[in-house]
Amino acid sequence: MIINVVSQHVLERTFCICADNSMGTAFVVEYDGKNYLVTARHLFQKSGYQNKMTINIQYQSTWKPISVEIYYHENNSIDAAVIKTDYFKDRYFGGVKYQSNKMAVSQDVFMLGFPYGLSTNQFNVNKGYPIPIVKKGILSGMINEEDIQSCLIDWDNNQGFSGGPVVFRDIAEGKYSKEEYIAGVIQGYRPHEIKVYDKDGNDTGLVAYENSGIGIMCKIENVIDIIKRIEK
């Protein structure tokens, strides 16, 4: 019987990064024999979406600077970035596939990341790198906005999860498959607008935004599109 849990193959390919003082998550995608780091595009907003810069990756209790090249999708509304670096060129991760189309609405999915910098600090497990925090939700649905299809997921997305992978197992005949898939990149959450009232209950005309509990995922196929353009 296949148990629906996140495998070591996914845990050990997920890393805590810091770019432009914005902490987030990145994960490794293998393509054509090369390892690429993948994260959310919005982490590089402060830098003006530069293509070459130094980012930091957490290692044990310190940060290691690495020089990288960053590639974005031709559609700027797609919140994904591919990081080209030799940092992981000699490391094999394996064990997962990259596809979102096998997901079914209402099925369990997992997201991995480092919310508020939290991690499972078992440095002896992943060659000195912290293990990410895992949360579970369900695929609630899909939406099309500006000709981009995104997935909606029922969970509370916390700061620091941005850029992390969303993972699932295929369900066939009511049973989980041994195949594990990375479906996409954690983008953020759907904000909910609320009115602000004064102490007497009067509408101030101001609004605030809160986490609606609906997370947004950028599909992994958009990431593969970026990598294919790099490979040309």
Amino acid occupying residue 165: P
Per the CB < 8 A criterion, the answer to whether 119 and 112 are in contact is: no
Q: Residue 190: phi, psi to the nearest 5?
A: -80, 115
Say how far apart CA 206 and CA 69 lie, in whole Å: 41
Q: Is residue 3 part of a domain?
A: no
Domain with 44, as residue range(s), is: 8-231
Q: Is residue 151 part of a domain?
A: yes
| CATH number of residue 136's parent domain | 2.40.10.120
Residue 108 makes CB contacts below 8 A (sequence gap 6+) with 4, 136, 137, 138, 168
Q: Is residue 79 part of a domain?
A: yes
Q: Residue 47: phi, psi to the nearest 5?
A: -85, -5
**What pTM does this model have?**
0.90
Between the alpha carbon of residue 196 and those of residues 202, 204, 207, 211, 213, the distances in Å are 9, 6, 5, 16, 20
| 148, 149, 152, 156: CA torsion to nearest 10 | -40
Q: Is residue 16 part of a domain?
A: yes
Say how far apart CA 164 and CA 113 lie, in whole Å: 5
Number of domains composing the chain = 1
Structure tokens at 75: 């559609």
Q: Is residue 1 part of a domain?
A: no
Residue 222 makes CB contacts below 8 A (sequence gap 6+) with 73, 78, 80, 184
Between the alpha carbon of residue 94 and those of residues 13, 91, 171, 181, the distances in Å are 9, 10, 21, 11
pLDDT tens digits for the chain (232 residues)? 567 889 889 999 999 999 888 899 999 999 998 999 999 999 999 888 889 999 999 998 899 999 999 999 999 999 999 999 999 988 888 889 999 998 989 999 999 999 999 998 766 778 889 999 999 999 999 988 877 888 999 987 888 899 999 999 988 766 778 889 999 999 987 666 778 888 888 888 887 777 667 889 999 999 999 999 997 7
